[in-house]
Structure formats: structure tokens, C-alpha cells
Chains A and B, each alone.
Chain A
């Protein structure tokens, strides 16, 4: 009995020490990051983590953020949401309740941000999603922002590109009906392509995790479209283009920002040659901020950053700026400062939140040439 009491006492002491530990460590600014570090789009989670750690290191090398009169170091709490909505909800709860973060950067895919945003909103924690382009993520919310453009714009960019540049009269779409992003942009594309005078001759779906698309692609082949739009994540697109190729589909293939990862080319570069996709930025476009970021990232991690990484880096600096402007470590004050962000010059363009949590930014079209992503053109809103 005595020993059991002893253990209880020991545990109590440990608990007190642990709590005191967090209290002492409170002299740091904790910012949560929710990223798909494992799971189907893990390559993107890795670049998110890389970019966040880079921003953290840079700001701490300068002594941290200037809040009021003192300089405080920044600590990113990076959690893995596995690219699953249910895990994202858990990650948001943990970041908010256990880590007491001041703001959250994340998540990346729209289905995950849609799961996290209501939690951040209810708790009054400012959230910036770097890469979620689905309009619903920020809709009707006070605390939720994003660093990227939204799909009503992106879908139109791709539809116009297909119509005007590729001279397509007919188009087919194959998309994941179980994922918010894919479904949203597919519908925008359909509407915009039809509005521009084109005809969508096949509009086919599948469900996350499917590996066999042959039945849908055979149906698309029968419809004989000029272009095939695949607004799906980079881990599934290679299988789709490969199967389309095997079935003898002749349509030109186009994609959207969800293609942007070095992993896309690892799996099916030969079948992707000559295809186009829309994106947030291209490392090929020269501007001082972007060049500096790309060079530093390449030096540190040995590869070019993808758009999700670049947007995460921008989101981090927007949060830094807002915290300094708020002048105190208070979630509401940071939210108000964020909402006044105007003309922030980042790697991926200029970001303004005044008036809307969805920045108006230009898109770029990327062409896959020689097994590489090559800048093609810029489309302004």
C-alpha cells in the first residue's frame, strides 16, 4: 500500500513539474502547423514541414518576433494530420487545447481544412491554410484565412486555357468525388468551359484510394474529348494518365495545383510529357523574394520547393507580421491584425486580407517538358 501511495505522490510531483515546465516555457510564441506528413500526399507534408522549419529558423536567428518591447522566440508545433479530415480535427483540438497555440497554419488539402476550420473558428484561434483552394474553407468564418487563390478563379483559368490555348471544343473530367477540392474545382471547370462555348462530354468520378480507373476512362474514350481534365492529387494522377495512355486515349491532359509535387514525376514522367497544369507560383519566375526563398530552400533540402511549401512559408510570415502588429500574444488581437493584412509581398505574390480572407492572386500555367516543371504563362485575375 505504502509503495502505491508513493507512486501516486511521485506522479503528482511529476505532474506539477511538467505543468510548471510548460508555464516556464511559455516565453515563446507557439504556432501550430497541421500537415499531411504521412499518408497519401506525404511528400507535400514534408515540404510543408521544411518550409515551416525554415521560417522558424530564420525568425529565431533574428532573435524572434518583436512583441511590444521584447523579442520572443517562435516555436512551431508541427502535427501530422495524415491528409484525413478526422485526424485533422484531432490535430486542431490538440494544438488548441494542449499546446495552446496562438495561431494555426494548415491544413493543406481542402477536405482537411474544412474539418479543422470550424474548430479553429469556435475556439477563436486564427488559422491560415496555405494551399486549400476550396471556397468553403473560409466561408462565413471570422478567424480563417488562406494564402492561395480560390477554385472559382483557378477552375476558370484552366477552362480558358483549354478553350483558348489548346483550342479544345470538347472536354472530359475524371475526379475524386469523395474529396472537397477535386469535386469543387471539377464543377467550376465544367461550368466555365460550357460558358466559354465548349462542351463537357464526360464527367466521371471515382473515390479516394481507387487504383483502377479503366472503366471510367474507357467511357471517356468513347466520348472522344479534346482535353481530359484531372483535378486530382499528385499521388493519383500518374496512375490515371498511365491507364488513359494504355487505353489509347488521345485527349490532351490538363491538371490543377494539386499536381505540384516532385512525386508526380517520380511515378509517371513519361506519360505526363507535354501536359499542363495551373499553379500558385513557379520557381522559374524571377523576383527577389521568390529567388531568395528558392535558393535557401534548395540549399537546405536539396530540391526545389513545391507551391505548398512556398505558400506555407508565406503563411508563416503573414502570421509573424500580424503578431508583431498586434503587439500582444492574444488570439483575437492577432486575428484583427491578420484581417488588416494589406499588400503583403510573399514568394507566391501579393496577399491582401482586407475585405476578404481569400486573397486575389495570379495563377501560372506550368508545362511538363523533359521530365521537368517548366513555366509557361501567367494568368491575372
Chain B
């Protein structure tokens, strides 16, 4: 019985780590400019494809591959913000959300046209080895996905809490009008936020490709929704909330599947609704106080 619980916990951690990596991007962007970046799931998808391309053409060591892919995808995120969202920053909020949806559909179809609509096998970057310990089986890939994801999240947490950039980001999140008057370059902070979020999504894309080695142009849609839901469940705008939400959703899905696999998503989303009913701003969300 214990071995099953540990086994399922590992399954949940792997799934949750990937949700959390993507959820962070949703949450950070929302925190800074109050935009729900619906293209984020597709940035995750493009990140996976960029990783595939880098792996096939440059064949670098794994860590270099992750860093190069994160860099390239960060560039993509910054470009998307510069081209599609920046001019809409002061427009109605709905305009930017619709634009984000459009960017997402554009990315899907661009990859479909440029590469193929067919699923691509993802190259094996780390030779999988099964490790068994008294009935619990795991692989080095699974442990790597969980470990590196958590490490990346800790790095992000450090950036936000301990660096000047992070301080500026938190300040912008708090008050977008006054902070630029204090000599902080708002555009730079927004770009940095998109870069960080996209880079994490790219890492998520590569890990996803290692854990489930088949990718297609539409893989970002459902994963994107689930990551977005994780972000909302944890309290959108809160970095810790996004991580927590990702791991909770992963766990709840695994529990649902164990209980009755046909009801997996039903159970998962029932819990989400319950969480929001009890705490409308999410688990770690701050209560909204309206100033008159």
C-alpha cells in the first residue's frame, strides 16, 4: 500500500512540476500587467519544438540545450509582448486578451505549417534508466524533471525576492502608475517578466518531451488550460501560488485517476470549483480591496 502511495506521489510530482513551470508564466504576467496571456500554452509548445531543433542540429549537452532553448524562447516571449501586447497596454483589457488568443492560434498554425501537423518523436536526451526500490519504480528522467523543475522555481523565487529586478517587478505589480515615476523602466520590467515566464515554459516543454516523448503543434492547448487553472487555483499573480497550484492539480488528477480513471478530470475540476468557492482569490491570493 505504501509503495503505491509513494509511486503515485512521484507520478503526481512529475505532472505537477510541468504544470507549475507553465503556471508561473501565467501568474507572473498577470501580476505585472493584469493580462491573461492565453498564448502562454503555445509558447510552451514552441519551446518544446525549439528544444527539438536545438537537439537535432546542435546536439549540445543536456544542460546547455536547456539553457539555449530557454534563451531562445525568452526572446520569443519578449518579441510577442513587444509586437502584440505593448500597444494595447492601456486599451480595454478585453482587447489584449483577444490578441493573446490570436497569438496562440497563430503560433499553433505557424508550427503546423512550418514543420508538420503530425506528432514528432522527441529525441532521447537523457538515456532513461529504471530505478526500483522495494516495489517503487522511477526513472532518472522522472527524478530529473522533478528536481530541475523545483530548482528552477527556487531560482525564480530568489530572483523575485532578492534581486533589484525582482524588487522592481514586485513594485510594478503593486502600482503600475507610480512606479515608473520612481525611475523604473516599466517596459524593461514587463519584458523581463515575459522573458522569465517564457524561459520557464521552454524548460517545461523540454521536460515534457523527455517524460512524454511525443509533441505536436496542439499540445499546448490542454496543458495551457491546466496550467492556467493551476495559476488561478493558487492565486493568480502569486508566484508561490502558481507552484502550489501546479502541484495540487497534478496530485488531484492522479488521485482522481486512481479512484476512477473515467472521472479523473471531473474530480480534478470539481475540486478547483470548491477551492474557488471557499477562497475566490485562490489559495494564496490576496483579498481584493477596492479603494473608493
A residues adjacent to B (C-beta < 8 A): 38-40, 42-43, 177, 204-207, 209, 211-212, 214-216, 218-219, 221-222, 235, 238-239, 242, 245-248, 266-267
Contacts and interface: CB of A to CB of B under 8 A. Distances in A.
Nearest to B12: A215
Nearest to B118: A42
Contacts of A205: 261-262
B257 interface: yes
A337 B130 CA distance: 58
B262 A246 contact: no
B6 to A, nearest CB: 10
A221 B7 CA distance: 10
A238 B254 contact: no
B14 A40 contact: no
Given A215-B254, A246-B128, 20 more contacts: A40-B119, A42-B119, A205-B262, A206-B257, A211-B214, A211-B219, A212-B15, A214-B11, A215-B261, A216-B261, A218-B8, A218-B11, A219-B258, A235-B119, A235-B214, A242-B213, A246-B137, A266-B121, A267-B121, A267-B213
Given A214-B11, A218-B4, A248-B137, A204 B261 contact: yes
B222 A215 contact: no
A211 B138 CA distance: 17
Contact of A219 (B14, B117, B130, B257): B257
Interface in B1-44: 4, 7-8, 11-12, 14-15
B289 interface: no
Contacts of B208: 211
A214 B6 CA distance: 13
Interface residues of B, number: 36
Contacts of B216: 40
Contacts of B211: 212
B139 interface: yes
Nearest to A220: B261
Nearest to B253: A215
A87 B7 CA distance: 40
B235 to A, nearest CB: 25
B242 to A, nearest CB: 20
Interface in B88-141: 117-119, 121, 128, 130, 132, 137-139, 141
B69 interface: no
Contacts of B262: 177, 205
Contacts of A247: 7, 137
A214 B11 CA distance: 6
A242 B213 CA distance: 10
B258 A246 contact: no
A214 B9 CA distance: 11
Interface of B is mostly: helix
Contact of A218 (B7, B117, B219, B222): B7
Contacts of B222: 209
A235 B120 CA distance: 10
Contacts of A245: 130
Contact of A38 (B8, B117, B141): B117
Contacts of A211: 208, 212, 214, 219
B224 to A, nearest CB: 13
B137 A206 contact: no
Given A43-B118, A177-B262, A218-B4, A248 B132 contact: yes
B265 interface: yes
Contacts of B214: 211, 235, 238-239, 267
B265 A218 contact: no
Given A38-B118, A267-B213, A246 B142 contact: yes
A215 B219 CA distance: 20
B211 to A, nearest CB: 8
Interface in B130-182: 130, 132, 137-139, 141-142
A192 B209 CA distance: 38
A248 B130 contact: yes
Contacts of A248: 130, 132, 137
B265 A207 contact: yes
B213 A239 contact: yes
A235 B117 CA distance: 13
Contacts of B256: 215
Nearest to B4: A222
A216 B254 CA distance: 8
Contacts of A214: 11, 14-15, 254
Interface string B255-279: 0111001101100000000000000
A349 to B, nearest CB: 30
A155 to B, nearest CB: 19
A27 to B, nearest CB: 35
Contacts of B212: 211-212, 239
B261 to A, nearest CB: 5
Nearest to A207: B265
20 contacts: A38-B117, A39-B118, A206-B257, A206-B264, A207-B265, A211-B208, A211-B214, A212-B14, A214-B15, A215-B8, A215-B11, A215-B12, A215-B261, A218-B258, A238-B214, A246-B138, A246-B141, A246-B142, A248-B132, A248-B137
